Amino acid sequence: MATRIEELLGAEAQALLTYRSEGIPADSLHLPGPDFLDRVWLQTDRPMAVINNLQRMHNTGRLAGTGYLSLFPVDQGIEHSAAASFAPNPIYFDPEGIVKMAIEGGCNGVASTLGVLGMMSRKYAHRIPFIVKLNHNEFISYPNRFNQIEFGTVSQAYDLGAAGVGATIYFGSEESDRQIQEVRVMFEEAHRLGMFTVLWCYLRNDAFKKDVDYHLAADLTGQANHIGVTLQADIIKQKMAENNGGYNAVKFGKTHKDVYGKLVKDHPIDWTSLAGCELLHGSMWPYQLRRSRRKQRLSRCRNDSSNQQARRWYGTYQRTEGIPEADERRYRTLERYSGRIS
């Protein structure tokens, strides 16, 4: 497996694999493992039904029992037009194609819209954990705004047999105050009904674009993560940090000079450590922030650049340090659904 990781990282392998963070100690991280739920979750205020659904998800799919998760999110039919994402592979216009791919690919769970999962609930909700995405930014109103609006309710997700619910907040946007309040209510109700919660913590504000794009700055995304777990998100989805110093560039908000030098060096691993440490007080674990950078994806993924599902899958298994190698069946499943073989 070590050879495989070095191959995937290419010329950056040594710089990344031998780097040691000096500012943030490794023993401050809650790392994944088979005992993760017992070690971290049982001390929280989550109802036991939530713990049960988290346990079910952790014990589903190829990564069952490892403490790692591979979730398959597909809501492109609303966030973008369905044709933009699925025209190269029309099988995905059928909601069943999305769920079948998640199952055959060995995922721990599948996240999609209320409509997609509602159509498939009686056939598949018992086979793989469903995560219903409850809000979306619809891209048909013009001009579009950085706005997430509710498309479904927590009770609808519960009735179709979902194990969890998900939502997005565009932190920094004009509408973020309302989104924060709506998500707080959603997550409280979801926990009461025994479902876990997933939050997409993205930044959206044109003011974050200065000399570089600070939408992926570690100090700003870290604060978004911190707010997310404060809202009792059980899982955070965040993009890999590509820089740091967003607070200083935007000249707004309050931070500390040690964030830029003493605690965090000018290195991608330290940027990720900073964003991860914002989660230490909450329920999320920092390893999930180690998302593959675009330039590190496999060459065959680049050949399938028109297919978002193929890009996501190829980017998923290459970052699973310490997890068994993907088997031949999984490779063939991914290639078949991405249109590479018939």
Give the pLDDT confidence score for residue 30 in this predicted structure. Answer: 84
Whether the Cβ atoms of residue 241 and residue 216 lie closer than 8 Å to each other: yes
- Residue-wise pLDDT for 65-110, tens only, equals 999 999 999 987 888 888 888 898 899 899 999 999 999 999 999 9
Contact 244, 266 (CB under 8 A): yes
What is the structure's pLDDT at 120? 97
The share of the chain scoring above pLDDT 70, in percent, equals 78
CA distances from 144 to 91, 148, 150, 180 (A): 29, 11, 16, 20
Query: What residue has token string 């964030």?
Result: 259
167's enclosing H/E stretch is strand 164-171
Whether pLDDT at 155 is above 80: yes
Residues 294-316: what's their mean pLDDT?
A: 38
Instruction: Average the pLDDT over 303-318 and give the result.
Output: 38
CATH architecture of structural domain 2-203+213-337:
Alpha-Beta Barrel (3.20)
What single string gives the DSSP state of each residue in 265-295? -SSHHHHHHHHHHTTTTSS--GGGG-PPPGG
**Strand pairing category for 71-74 and 235-237:** unpaired
Give dist(CA 111, CA 109) in Å, integer. Answer: 7
Measure the CA–CA gap between 238 and 255, rounded to whole angstroms: 20
Does position 3 have pLDDT exceeding 90, yes or no? no
Asked if the model's pLDDT at residue 121 lies above 60, the reply is yes
pLDDT at 303 over 70: no
Token pair in block for residue 238: 């965040």
pLDDT tens-digit map of 124-147: 999 999 999 999 998 888 888 889
- Active site positions, annotated: 237
Three-state DSSP at 120 gives: helix
Percent of the chain with pLDDT over 90: 50
Give the pLDDT score at 265. Answer: 72
What is the helix (H) or strand (E) element at residue 311, kind and residue range?
A: helix 308-317
Q: What are 210-266's pLDDT values in tens digits?
A: 989 999 998 999 999 999 999 999 999 998 888 888 998 988 888 888 878 777 777
Q: List the domain boundaries for the chain.
A: 2-203+213-337
Alpha carbon separation from 284 to 27, 31, 68, 228, 342 (Å, rounded): 16, 10, 12, 9, 39
What span, in angstroms and rounded, lies between the C-alpha atoms of 214 and 12? 23
Of the given ranges (149-153, 280-284, 302-306), which has the lowest mean pLDDT? 302-306
What pLDDT is recorded for position 7?
87
Q: How high is the pLDDT of residue 105? A: 96
**Residue in this structure with the two tokens 């009686």, named with its chain if needed:** 122
